[in-house]
Structure 1
Amino acid sequence: MTSSAPPAHRLGRVLLTNDDGINAPGLALLAELVAGVAEEVWVVAPEKDQSGMSRAVTLTTPLRVEERGERRYALTGTPSDCAIFGLRHLLKDNPPDIVLSGINRGANVGDEVPYSGTVAAALTARLLGVPAIAFSQSFARGGQVRWDTARAVFARSLDYALDLRVAANAVLNVNFPDVDAVDVGDVVLTRQSRGTLDRIDVEPRADMRGGTYYWMAFRRHMPILGPDTDAGALKHGLVSVTPLGFDMTAPEGIA
């Protein structure tokens, strides 16, 4: 298994979360990688997959939490719920130095970033005053997820992210390319791209009793983009680091 040198940075108390759920392999890998560089690691993650939940918070039903091990909790809520629960209840009196979200199964780039629960958890943490970074491992649909790539490049990606002087209201969105670890290029600063989502379809299916149910189907493509964009960097085998904020104003609308 390919590995890398540990990060140059040491971390204090760290809160981990994700949107793929408490049992996701990406979260297990993140916990393993962070354990060697942090003084204390806490995990609050959804009890089940909450992909695509964006910044949703649970307002009309109660939340329940189950302890799954030392400093490890599964919550019946969204990724943003997990960040809020961790920061405003579980660690209210001893807040973490940073929140790390991921490692997501699949890239979070381009037009799909606003749907991402992985990114949303980081944004929620930042909204509550704690620095945050989201991590995602790109992969081709139907293919194997290259967790070894994430393992190999995590340390230098984390160091790069922690060395950046980002605005106080920004988070960093880190995406690892879908290439073998030995083929990964540099870690680069990128901007969010456009045009990666063609459309969203509703696909009807029939169950065993003849009833109808539906799947939401995202239709994607990766346009030809330069390595200064998140999707373009992944196409070039680079690790993409994109600063994201809360301002969704369209400048052309103001103009």
Structure 2
Amino acid sequence: MHSDSDFHVLLTNDDGHEAPGIRTMRSVLQREGYRVSTVAPSREKSATGMSTTTRRNLPLSELGGGIWHLDAQPADTVLVALRHLLEDDPPQMVVSGINFGPNLGIGLHASGTVGAATVALLNGVPAIAVSAGMLFEEARQTPRLFPSTHGVLEPAAEFTCQVIESLRRKPETDGRLLPRGIMLNINYPPVPRETIRGVLYPEVSTGHMIELGYRRCDETGHLIPRYHANVDPARPEREEGDVRAHLEGYITVSPVKPSWNPPPAEASNLLRRLDGILKPDS
């Protein structure tokens, strides 16, 4: 599988421009013939969602070869790329990742990886967020090296290229790579390629895979944020949607539509209850 070099991909992430995931993704995209521009945060900016930087200047560094890093949020990198750096050479696709760790369930709302892809989508550019899973037992090891996650970065990048090629071969009837207002969220499980159970296209779960808690640090009252597993990897049947499929060893590809509008039927009863609140009593 080799693409033509005219297809332009903007690559970003939330782990920072030197992270292994984005470096692997760039290498594989280029190997497959894509023209890649990288605009990524200068350092790790995980769990920043779609937040942007507005109250200070944004230091921008050009490394050459179509690579920039920006001292700002992942969402900023996409906006700076689309509205400044690549304004005269816009990308045809934005890939955000590969994130070092899964982005599943309602954790998508906080993810800087997914947030960057969402910003691209809202600016009219097809977008894919890509993440590689972690094994909880490796998170408890010292030092925390996560060999299983490192081991699936290249397969995850290769799979992403297969997805892009499939979208290009079979576009929407209007020629779009993805339907208007929809992006893809890919999660690759942290297991050897030969043990992958397949590819599933699940809905995003309403549960947490990883939950954020807090504990008091000392007498000053400062709190330390702590992530902890909210699932039992040995009991995936207790979960639903993309979380369950990921725990069961499937690659998940979930279409995501970032909209604040509920289906009209679901909102109609609420609106009927609110109707008339500004009308004078009869």
- TM-score, normalised by the number of residues in structure 2: 0.79
- Counterpart of 2:24 (choices 26, 29, 46) is 29
Structure 2: distance between partners of 1:200 and 1:17:
25
- Counterpart of 2:95 (choices 75, 91, 100) is 100
> Does the aligned pair in 2 maintain the 1:54–1:117 contact within 8 Å?
yes
Q: 1:126, CA displacement in angstroms?
A: 1.0
Structure 2: distance between partners of 1:198 and 1:139:
11
Given the alignment of the two structures, is residue 136 of structure 1 paired with residue 136 of structure 2, yes or no?
no
CA 1:191–1:135 in 2, change beyond 3 Å: closer, same or farther? same
Given the alignment of the two structures, is residue 40 of structure 1 paired with residue 49 of structure 2, yes or no?
no
Structure 1: distance between partners of 2:237 and 2:79:
36
Task: Please give the root-mean-square deviation of Cα atoms over the aligned residues, in Å.
Answer: 2.5
CA 1:158–1:228 in 2, change beyond 3 Å: closer, same or farther? farther
Structure 2: distance between partners of 1:198 and 1:81:
25
CA 1:45–1:33 in 2, change beyond 3 Å: closer, same or farther? same
Moved more, 87-96 or 245-254: 245-254
- Counterpart of 1:126 (choices 110, 117, 121) is 121
Alignment partner, residue 87 of structure 1: 82
Structure 2: distance between partners of 1:176 and 1:58:
30
Q: 1:153, CA displacement in angstroms?
A: 4.5
Given the alignment of the two structures, is residue 180 of structure 1 paired with residue 188 of structure 2, yes or no?
no
Residue 23 of structure 2 aligns to a residue whose secondary structure is helix
Task: Name the amino acid aligned to 2:256.
Answer: L
Given the alignment of the two structures, is residue 222 of structure 1 paired with residue 238 of structure 2, yes or no?
no
Q: 1:69, CA displacement in angstroms?
A: 2.9
Q: Deviations over 1:116-164 (max 9, x none)?
A: 0001111111111111111100002414342332312433443235535
Alignment partner, residue 64 of structure 2: 69
Structure 2: distance between partners of 1:94 and 1:128:
15
How many residues are paired up? Answer: 246
Moved more, 192-201 or 102-111: 192-201
Q: 1:222, CA displacement in angstroms?
A: 2.7
Alignment partner, residue 208 of structure 2: 196
Q: 1:227, CA displacement in angstroms?
A: 9.4
Structure 1: distance between partners of 2:120 and 2:242:
22
- Counterpart of 1:60 (choices 32, 55, 58) is 55
In percent, how many aligned pairs have the same letter? 28
Structure 2 segments unaligned to the other structure (5+ residues): 140-145, 173-177, 270-282
Alignment partner, residue 3 of structure 1: none
Structure 1 segments unaligned to the other structure (5+ residues): 1-6
> Does the aligned pair in 2 maintain the 1:53–1:116 contact within 8 Å?
yes
Q: Deviations over 1:81-116 (max 9, x none)?
A: 000001110000110111111000000001211000
Structure 1: distance between partners of 2:37 and 2:18:
15
Q: 1:228, CA displacement in angstroms?
A: 7.5
> Does the aligned pair in 1 maintain the 2:211–2:229 contact within 8 Å?
yes
Structure 2: distance between partners of 1:204 and 1:85:
38
Higher helix share: 2
Residue 212 of structure 2 aligns to a residue whose secondary structure is strand
Task: Name the amino acid aligned to 1:154.
Answer: A
> Does the aligned pair in 2 maintain the 1:160–1:187 contact within 8 Å?
no
CA 1:202–1:123 in 2, change beyond 3 Å: closer, same or farther? same
> Does the aligned pair in 2 maintain the 1:101–1:134 contact within 8 Å?
yes
- Counterpart of 1:235 (choices 247, 251, 254) is 247
Alignment partner, residue 143 of structure 2: none
Structure 2: distance between partners of 1:145 and 1:215:
27
Residue 147 of structure 2 aligns to a residue whose secondary structure is coil
Given the alignment of the two structures, is residue 148 of structure 1 paired with residue 151 of structure 2, yes or no?
yes
Moved more, 218-227 or 167-176: 218-227
Q: 1:215, CA displacement in angstroms?
A: 2.7
Identify the structure with bigger relative contact order (alpha carbons < 8 Å, sequence gap 6+). 1
